[in-house]
Amino acid sequence: MRVSVLTINILLGCLCFFSVAAQTASHGLPLDPETKKISYKDVVTQEGNPGYLYDKAIQWFNYYYLSPASIYSVQDRVNGKIEGLGRLRIYNNDIKTGTHTDGGIVTYLIKIEFKESRYRYTLTDFNLKLASRYPIEKWMNKEDPLYNPNWDAYLYQVDTTMQRLVSTLKEKMKPIVVKKDEW
């Protein structure tokens, strides 16, 4: 069976189109396939027992959050779990005037679980803090009659903040290498 170059190019073009369309639809944010919610999660292999990894995570919370005690809802060293409600401020950026105004606060659930030589983090349930829950996944719908171009900027701010959170978590969870002063 011979496949023509034209057929291959058409198939590759369609694949690229659907890949770009899928990324555009989700704004490049990770969506859980089951819940359709924005969700950052991963299992990270890291040497150490659950107690050691738990202690490292507590150190990271103290490093990353100004007031980590206000974040925690669960601190369970015995069962290897930390849960809490994080918050991040978003801004409206006026390009013409160069001003930044308050866009609100987005809350999210952060959960870190520990097992022997690995931990799992989950960041999900992103909501704009209002009188009632307002899932930020609504900002992805450009067909919404209430669509606001600022929503794309808000999603970008959430994504960059979560990427920074994850990278600092992974970095701080690594063991500290102590150099001996041999002279």
pTM for this model (two decimals):
0.79
What the block records as the tokens of 30 is: 């990770």
What pLDDT is attached to residue 171? 96
118-136 average pLDDT score: 95
> Domain 35-173 classified CATH 1.10.287.470?
no
Q: Is residue 9 classed as helix, strand or coil in its secondary structure?
A: helix
Tokens of 23: 């990324």
Q: Which residues pair with 105 in a beta bridge?
A: 89
Residue 79: band (very low, low, confident or very high) from pLDDT cuts 50, 70, 90: very high
List Cβ<8 Å contacts ≥24 apart for 26-34: 26/140, 27/140, 27/152, 27/155, 27/156, 27/159, 28/159, 29/140, 29/155, 29/158, 29/159, 31/137, 32/124
Q: How far apart are CA 130 and CA 136, in angstroms?
A: 12
* All structural domains of the chain with their residue ranges: 35-173
